[in-house]
Structure 1
Amino acid sequence: MPPLAEPEWCPFRRTVTLFRHEPLLLDCGTAVTHIRVACHTYGEAREKATLVLHALTGTSAVHEWWADFLGKGRPLDPTRDFVICANVLGGCAGSTGPAELPAVGGEDMPLSLRDMARVGRALLEHLGVRRVRIVGASMGGMLAYAWLLECPDLVERAVVIGAPVRHSPWAIGLNTAARSAIRAAPGGEGLKVARQIAMLSYRSPESFAQTQPGQRAPGQPAITSYLHHQGEKLQARFCERSYVALTRAMDAFQPSDTELRSIRTPVLAVGIRSDVLYPPDEVRQGAALLPHATYWELDSVHGHDAFLMDAGELPEQVSAFLRS
């Protein structure tokens, strides 16, 4: 068999240190310097770029987790566009994490999605980018709304997939339970339970009925094996302090209706029919507050994670919006 052809582009990973001379003032009131940002870029550097915002436990390596979207002729096309994705402030995939920031009252410094957007703006300036189109899903979608509020001069249009304009009591409650598990069993075991709680909200009952029926081992339901496996995988690659910091930032993001109505950037808001974490009605009603938002719904049984595992017509919808 002949070797696979090399793509016309390849991922380029870099780590930069920002705010060396002028500090970043965080929403909590603390000024910090020397913020490290790990990012991947794809394609030739340009003043105009497509910025990808990753999900809660995601990384900047878009080619590893969103192959349906990245590539020639796809929504994120490095043969035509400069594509950027950065690990967020507070993450644990190369960027400055909670342990590297000053403590506040003996606890990790609270971070906000708006803080993350301001760090992202500084990264774009470092890369020489003046304008962006944004594509964000899940936490990345909420972060897109923070970008629209913090950096309206930079964003030409934005795609928000499977994300609300603010966290509901239901979503905050799920994150509260996950953080309680981490506090009750620090050192990794609590993070495993937090992931299990989250995975139940990332899929739908119908999805689990299709994908996890019966038993994998004698006496153990398939869903039990699946949740244990997912917990172990996350514990091996993620930091519990980052999990706490990022979920707190999501819960605290509560823009007012007035703020949302001030957004003039065109937005494509995508709901997912079977999403139990962020129900489609919630996504649609939030987007209706934006003067120039269009709503589209992905028809999938696989819940919140459908944007990763069952994209259907989503790539075509996103491509058409970005090119319009």
Structure 2
Amino acid sequence: MTALIHPAHQTPPAAADRCPVQQTVTLFRHEPLLLDCGQAVNDVRVAYHTYGEAREDATLVLHALTGNSAVHEWWPEFLGKGCPLDPELGFVVCANVLGGCAGSTSPGELPPVGGGDAPLSLRDMARVGRALLEHLGVRRVRLVGGSMGGMLAYAWLLECPDLVERAVIIGAPARHSPWAIGLNTAARSAIQAAPGGEGLKVARQIAMLSYRSPQSFALTQAGQRAPGTPAITSYLQYQGEKLHARFCERSYVALTWAMDTFQPTDAELRSIRTPVLAVGISSDVLYPPAEVQACAALLPCAQYWELDSVHGHDAFLMDAQDLPERVGAFLRGH
């Protein structure tokens, strides 16, 4: 497979840890990527970050729905010296997913299907990730993914079992429940009803209610921030505005659809022989811990651990507690 790196985005290996810079590569220049929808696609652009010295084995971080490849910005408790993702001890890679809007090929850049954006799947994203690893010379990976990244890890385990040594899946089931699909449906309906940004703001407000818990909001958003304006109202409005400033509504629609339509069977899950650490979050209302545990129970080589926090789904980002130590030990094979 021939790949083209854009020189402006290259980072000298010696400088990568001090000042991580996003890199970009164009894959599938000669042999196309066949999407699950049947569309063949050439020239797929992938934006990514690397940390540490390149080698044949790596830890691949899979980001959440509105995340990006800059792990040092959004997961500092996990990346750094003495952390589970230690660039001094190993090679760490994170790529923006196909269909995102942080440098990789976006939905609007793909050939349309039936007059609309080509529907993407999590398996499509895993295939693109595999091509990136081939380009980087990586032959074996350990996966770490939270939320959408955790669901994408399941797609990797099914699509690329020969590459994955072990996987950490945080706050994610193997497939969406009607509850999770319903929340995403409401979000996409808001975007469809008010295109141009206003719908995306509402979609983010809907999502934020599922990312935290009633107890978390009682602790952090009680009272008023301005006369006559409840704190939770100001908070949700702020979150909507912030996402609108950095994210694309077409990507939001494409990625939530890919999550909703990823429905591996019990038999497929039982076929996974890779060691897995599945992490549930005690107060998660989006992906209740019992749901995460039930999916893990189908895996022959999985162990389950629960993060006890009042902060809901987002606890893995804002209240990690012992999670880094648990993840680090598992990645080391302990």
Q: TM-score, normalised by structure 2?
A: 0.94
Aligned position for 1:242 = 251
Aligned position for 2:12 = none
**C-alpha distance in 2, partners of 1:286/1:112?**
20
Aligned position for 1:90 = 99
2:26 is the counterpart of 1:17:
yes
Decide whether the 8 Å contact of 1:172 with 1:251 is kept in 2.
Answer: yes
2:122 is the counterpart of 1:129:
no
Q: Which runs of 5+ in 2 are unaligned?
A: 1-14
2:298 is the counterpart of 1:285:
no
Secondary structure (helix, strand or coil) at the match of 1:136 reads: strand
Decide whether the 8 Å contact of 1:191 with 1:231 is kept in 2.
Answer: yes
- Give the alignment partner of residue 207 of structure 2, picking from 191, 198, 210: 198
**C-alpha distance in 2, partners of 1:202/1:80?**
33
* Off by >2 Å, runs of 4+ in structure 1: 6-10
Secondary structure (helix, strand or coil) at the match of 1:268 reads: strand
Q: Deviations over 1:41-91 (max 9, x none)?
A: 000000000000000000000001000100000001001110000000000
Secondary structure (helix, strand or coil) at the match of 2:317 reads: helix
Q: Deviations over 1:101-137 (max 9, x none)?
A: 0111111100000000000000000000000000000
Secondary structure (helix, strand or coil) at the match of 1:50 reads: strand
Decide whether the 8 Å contact of 2:16 with 2:50 is kept in 1.
Answer: no
Q: Deviations over 1:5-60 (max 9, x none)?
A: x9964424210000001000100011100000000000000000000000000000
Q: TM-score, normalised by structure 1?
A: 0.97
2:266 is the counterpart of 1:269:
no
1:321 deviates by: 0.3
Q: Identity rate of aligned residues, in percent?
A: 83
Aligned position for 2:4 = none
**C-alpha distance in 1, partners of 2:245/2:297?**
40
2:165 is the counterpart of 1:156:
yes
RMSD between superposed Cα atoms in Å = 1.0
- Give the alignment partner of residue 149 of structure 2, picking from 112, 136, 140: 140
2:161 is the counterpart of 1:173:
no
**C-alpha distance in 1, partners of 2:270/2:256?**
25
**C-alpha distance in 1, partners of 2:214/2:113?**
41
Secondary structure (helix, strand or coil) at the match of 1:296 reads: strand
Aligned position for 2:323 = 314
Paired amino acid for 2:146: A
Aligned position for 1:103 = 112
Secondary structure (helix, strand or coil) at the match of 1:36 reads: strand
Decide whether the 8 Å contact of 2:146 with 2:172 is kept in 1.
Answer: yes
2:263 is the counterpart of 1:254:
yes
Aligned position for 1:224 = 233
Q: Which runs of 5+ in 1 are unaligned?
A: 1-5
